[in-house]
Amino acid sequence: MWLHWLAMRRKVEGEVARSRALLESVPDAIFVVEEQGRVVDVNQAAVGKYGYTRAEMLAMRASDLNVPERLEWVRQTRERIYDRGDFSFESLHVDKLGDVFPVEVNAKVAHIGGRDLEIAVVRDLRQRRKVERRAALLAAIVDSAEDAIVGTDTRGRVLSWNAGAERLYGWTSEDAVGREIGFVLPPEEADRARERLRGVLRNGRSMRYETKRRRRDGREVDVMVTLGLMRDINTGGTLGLSAIVRDLTERNKLISQLRGKVAELQRSNKELEDFAFIASHDLQEPLRKISSYSGLLLEEAGTELGDDAKTYLDAVCRAAMRMSDLVDGLLELSRVTTRGREFERLDLGEVVHDALDSLEVRIRETEASIKVEGLPEITGDRDQMRRLLENLVSNSLKYRHPERRPEIDIRAEESEETVSLVVSDNGTGFEEKHADSIFKPFSRLVGRSDQDGSGIGLAISRKIVTRHGGRLTAHGKPGEGARFRIDLPVNNKAEAS
């Protein structure tokens, strides 16, 4: 008899131990409550979540965990639990520190040891509420987006359809959700669209492409689609695909208008170039005659002419030659963008050498000292870059200081984004307020009687730099010299015309 009793006791103790282990293995708080509301047992998860010791909790009533304004509702709910045997509800609990948090309670009545006990599993809903708020925020953002945003499962069946999709396609969310996405695909796009879907599922990489989509009214619209995977934020598993679809109708309309304007400008530029060429040709002929006949008159009748007449004829010759230079300069200015060559890799050192060769006589006459430091390679039009440097060096020689030998320094400065070419001199210089006006055609800071030239060389220089996607600026100080700075992009993507 005694052995039987001992065996039964050990069996009961084993079941209690297994029950306690099961109770402690559950991550949710578990309360065992008698019918009058007194707590008779809790698991360790309850102790951890509420901040009380086990002894403190066993001295409490279940109602002590609820916020005061919910007490009557909880009392009535507990009565229904004992009537029905089980019940689930949400409430607000308070921990030892006074923090209020939402909970989900799943309660069941069990007959244990000759009495009815309520076993309540209490789940903390704070994390779930946080996820729900985040999901609601994301849903609001998606729904307020101008673009159509569509979610599908891995087979292409629509899971979500925002307001932007309703506006773009004309189908409501109720119309679209649950359908295979093919209803918005033009027949000729269906196979390509499904292949793209399979490609994203296969390699996991998003893709962006332009295509067409079909509206409810049958019209086709040009769109930009960004297709990517939807992943579970916890497991990283694939939930489906998302497509962000942007209507390109207005953009394409603007592009078409812009292309029309570009074509119109190209026609206009061609007409202007043709006019400049014809005007140059027609103007040069009478200018050559004026210069030629004036020179002949001076040679053949020079002894018969008085000093004033000779001065007048000389002035006519020089004016004709200046006018000829102006016509040539205008023609060159008009052709910077229309007659430029394709860009190529250039050694700036070689380009500078070529420019100085063409100015060799002028450099020797002025006894100029020119210092060239190591210059890098760039991308550009060889002839135009040579012309640019020729103009800047010629400008330094032209505006040299009368009391000292010309010194010209040509060097480069490099950064991650730009290559800068700096040409500086010790000439007459200029006031900073004129730093921009000197690049205007025919703008001169000294009178024509002081210096030769057409007054258009710096205008041509700036236009060349602009064509190369760069910027030409000038700085000067009267009596001390001038400095011209050319900033060009490292990866020159300016289009050669």
Domain assignment of residue 306, yes or no = yes
Neighbours of 351 (CB within 10 A): 23
Note the pLDDT of residue 13.
43
What lies within 8 Å, CB to CB, of 256 at 6+ separation is none
| Residue 367 and residue 462 in one domain | yes
Nearest one of 196, 263, 198, 206 to 230, comparing CA atoms: 206
Looking at the fold, whether 348 and 270 belong to one and the same domain comes out as no
β-pair type (407-414, 369-372) = parallel
Distance of alpha carbon 299 from alpha carbon 280, whole angstroms: 28
Final residue of a structural domain among 274, 304, 335: 335
Question: Given the structure tokens 């053949």, which residue do they identify?
Answer: 300
Same domain? 66 vs 162: no
Q: Which domain holds residue 198?
A: 130-247
Instruction: Say what the pLDDT of residue 409 is.
Output: 95
Calculate mean pLDDT across residues 18-24. 62
Give the least confident one: 41-50, 168-177, 302-311, 422-431: 302-311
Report whether 121 contacts 140 (CB < 8 A).
no
Residues 149 and 213 reside in one and the same domain: yes
| Top-confidence residue, 62 or 452 | 62
**496 within a domain of the structure (yes/no):** no
- Answer yes or no: do 377 and 482 share one domain: yes
pLDDT band at 493 (very low <50, low <70, confident <90, very high): very low
Phi, psi of 405 (to 5 degrees): -70, 135
Q: Which tops the pLDDT comparison, 144 or 336?
A: 144
Answer whether residue 141 is part of any domain: yes
161, 195, 209, 211, 216 from 186: Cα distances, Å: 19, 15, 16, 10, 11
Where a domain ends, among 335, 363, 383? 335
> What value, to the nearest 5°, has the Cα angle with vertex 310 and ends 306 and 316?
145
| Cβ count near 185 (within 10 Å) | 19
Residue 9 above 50 pLDDT? no
Q: Exposed, middle or buried, 334 (CB in 10 Å: 0-12/13-18/19+)?
A: buried
Is there a domain that residue 195 lies in? yes
Domain of residue 204, CATH code: 3.30.450.20
Q: What is the CA radius of gyration of the chain?
A: 44
Burial of 497 (0-12, 13-18, 19+ CB in 10 A): middle
**Helix (H) or strand (E) segment spanning residue 47:** helix 44-50
Instruction: Give the pLDDT confidence of 120-134 residue by residue, as tens digits.
Output: 999 999 888 887 888
Q: Percent of the chain having pLDDT more than 90?
A: 37
pLDDT, average across residues 113-121: 83
**Cα–Cα distance measured from residue 495 to residue 473, given in angstroms and rounded to the nearest whole number:** 22
CA distance linking residue 71 with residue 395, whole number of Å: 94
Given a cut of 80, whether residue 423 has pLDDT beyond it is yes
Range from 120-134, 260-274, 312-326 that averages highest in pLDDT: 120-134
Q: Residue 481 class from Cβ within 10 Å (0-12 exposed, 13-18 middle, 19+ buried)?
A: buried
- The answer to whether residue 497 sits within a structural domain is no
35 by DSSP, 3-state: which? Answer: coil
User: Above 90 in pLDDT, residue 224?
Assistant: yes
Q: Which residue carries 């004036």 as its tokens?
A: 294
Categorize the per-residue pLDDT at 24 as very low, low, confident or very high, splitting at 50, 70 and 90. confident
Number of domains in the chain: 4
Which pLDDT score is estimated for 58?
92
* 307 shares its domain with 383: no
Contact 325, 283 (CB under 8 A): no
Cα gap 317→411, rounded to integer Å: 40
Pull the structure tokens for residue 294: 């004036």
CB 270 within 8 A of CB 171: no
Structure tokens at 125: 């809903």
- Residue 16 reports pLDDT greater than 70: no
Are 356 and 309 in the same domain? no
Instruction: Say whether both 231 and 138 belong to one domain.
Output: yes
- Residue 189: is its pLDDT beyond 70? yes
Percent of the chain with pLDDT over 70: 85
Beta bridge partners of residue 87, listed in sequence order: 107
Whole-angstrom distance, CA of residue 422 vs CA of residue 424: 6
Helix axes 307-335, 249-301, angle to 10 degrees: 160
Q: Please, which pLDDT band fits residue 210 given cuts at 50, 70 and 90?
A: very high
Residue 446: band (very low, low, confident or very high) from pLDDT cuts 50, 70, 90:
low
Same domain, 32 and 105: yes
Residues 324 and 391 grouped into a single domain: no
Averaged pLDDT of the chain = 83
Choice between 233 and 39, residue whose per-residue pLDDT is larger: 39
* 101 occurs within a structural domain: yes
Residue 351: pLDDT over 80: yes
Q: What is the CATH number of the domain that holds 381?
A: 3.30.565.10
Q: How confident is the model at residue 452 (pLDDT cuts 50, 70, 90)?
A: low
Contact 395, 388 (CB under 8 A): no
Q: Is the pLDDT of residue 14 over 60?
A: no
The verdict on residue 494 lying in a domain is no
Beta-bridged to residue 120, according to DSSP, are 31, 107
- pLDDT of 170 higher than 50: yes
Single residue among 247, 278, 306 that ends a domain in this structure:
247
- Pair (105, 156) in one structural domain: no
Residue 145 has pLDDT above 90, yes or no: no
Least confident interval from 12-26, 285-299, 316-330, 345-359: 12-26
What gap in Å lies between CA 222 and CA 247, rounded to an integer? 6
Confidence of residue 442 (pLDDT cuts 50, 70, 90): low
9 and 118 assigned to the same domain: yes
Using 50, 70 and 90 to split pLDDT, how confident is the model at 455? low
Residue 173 binned pLDDT confidence (cut-offs 50, 70, 90): very high
